[in-house]
Structure 1
Amino acid sequence: MGGPSDGRTGWLPPEQYAETVLKATAFACFYFTDEDERPLQLHSVYSPAHPWQLVGGTMDPGERPWQTAVRECQEETGITPAGPPRLLATVYGLPGAEWPYSTIGCVFDGGRLTATQIRGIAVQPEEHDEVRVLPLAAWEALMPRRDFERLSALTEARRTGTAAYVDNWDWGDD
């Protein structure tokens, strides 16, 4: 078993072929709202380029996207989302100055949280220092354009029931 031909000697061995293909990191997260459909985000203490973030993070080796999203959600909020998984969006970003690899992510619908559940979120201070729920339009002034476009696409995907494909979440200038 190998990869495509090198044009001279036939199929490449898998380890050689693997060196020629796209390298990417993967993440998985949840889109939560309150009962009034206002998006919930966490304020990052380590990423001034992306100050407001969805609940989630980078996949660990051996994890699948849903497992990552649930693990990260438990770590970041203390909430354990119930399945089954409902994919709201696939997010893709090209590499750039901030990160040398492409990024591929899955955003799952975390549902609507009650005011009591939101008040009960205990953020991890080494990652986040605030939980905020705002109407969609209010988020625009607080985040980079592409982050807001992604949040808007998620809101629309939840509203329509049609998954979004966001392919402009690149690691370049906003």
Structure 2
Amino acid sequence: MANTWLPPAEYVETLPRATAYACLYFTDTAGRALQLRTTRGEDVWQWPGGNMDPGETPWETAVRECREETGLVFTGEPRLLGTHFVRDRGTRHWPANHIGFIFDGGELTDEQIAAVVLAPEEHTSYALRTLDQWRREMAPGDFARLAAIDRARRTGGPVYLENGPAEA
């Protein structure tokens, strides 16, 4: 079979679909991780972040989504803690691969935490907890992602994470 060159627009149509999200991982000065409870369920916790808009970079997405979801204006430099790949589940729920970029938001002061204002259509509350406390609150796969990102921040080395169809 001979290789046939396709014009870029046609070639792109043959590739798997993917969407992307980006977020910021924050702790307080005691090292407790900040997460937001989503309106999608009592037991679903997330970092400030969301899906990329057209024309945005992952970093721009993380900063914009953090501001929209918490009111916090992050002015630090980009430091990638990890990437997260979620395989296409082949369902109406999310019919594409999903790729995430988790950046280090650093430590929040008590004043910054007190200034958090949640977007009520997206999140019902926020919490700061130790990893041991989060372990009891979260699904095992979600907690494993949190623990890996926390470890990446402490060690200085980024992590690559994957979820298959059953885990996502």
Question: Secondary structure of the equivalent of 1:80?
Answer: coil
CA distance in 1, matches of 2:123, 2:42: 14
Q: Which residue of 2 aligns with 1:25?
A: 19
User: Is 1:61 the equivalent of 2:29?
Assistant: no
Q: What amino acid maps onto 1:35 in structure 2?
A: T
Of 127, 139, 144 in structure 2, the residue corresponding to residue 149 of structure 1 is 144
User: Is 1:135 the equivalent of 2:130?
Assistant: yes
Contact 2:22 2:52 in 1 (8 A): yes
How far residue 49 of structure 1 moved from its aligned partner, in angstroms, is: 8.8
* Equivalences for residues 56-95 of structure 1 within 5 A: 56-95=49-88
Q: Which residue of 2 aligns with 1:165?
A: 160
CA distance in 2, matches of 1:161, 1:52: 24
What is the identity percentage for the equivalent residue pairs of Structure 1 and Structure 2? Answer: 47
How far residue 50 of structure 1 moved from its aligned partner, in angstroms, is: 6.6
What are the superposed Cα offsets for residues 151-174 of structure 1, whole Å, 9 maximum, x if unpaired?
000110011011111112x45356
Q: Which residue of 1 aligns with 2:5?
A: 11
Distance 1:77 1:171, change over 3 A: farther
CA distance in 2, matches of 1:119, 1:62: 32
How far residue 137 of structure 1 moved from its aligned partner, in angstroms, is: 1.4
CA distance in 2, matches of 1:9, 1:87: 37
Contact 2:84 2:99 in 1 (8 A): yes
Q: What amino acid maps onto 1:138 in structure 2?
A: Q
CA distance in 1, matches of 2:145, 2:105: 16
Question: Secondary structure of the equivalent of 1:141?
Answer: helix
Contact 1:27 1:104 in 2 (8 A): yes
How far residue 113 of structure 1 moved from its aligned partner, in angstroms, is: 0.5
User: Is 1:99 the equivalent of 2:105?
Assistant: no
CA distance in 2, matches of 1:10, 1:173: 37
Contact 1:49 1:144 in 2 (8 A): no
**Structure 2 residue ranges without an equivalent (≥5):** none
Contact 2:83 2:99 in 1 (8 A): yes
The farther-off stretch of 25-34 and 137-146 is: 137-146
Q: Which residue of 2 aligns with 1:3?
A: none
Q: What amino acid maps onto 2:157 in structure 1?
A: T
Contact 2:19 2:99 in 1 (8 A): yes
Q: Which residue of 1 aligns with 2:33?
A: 39
Distance 1:166 1:49, change over 3 A: farther
Distance 1:49 1:61, change over 3 A: farther
Q: What amino acid maps onto 1:116 in structure 2?
A: E
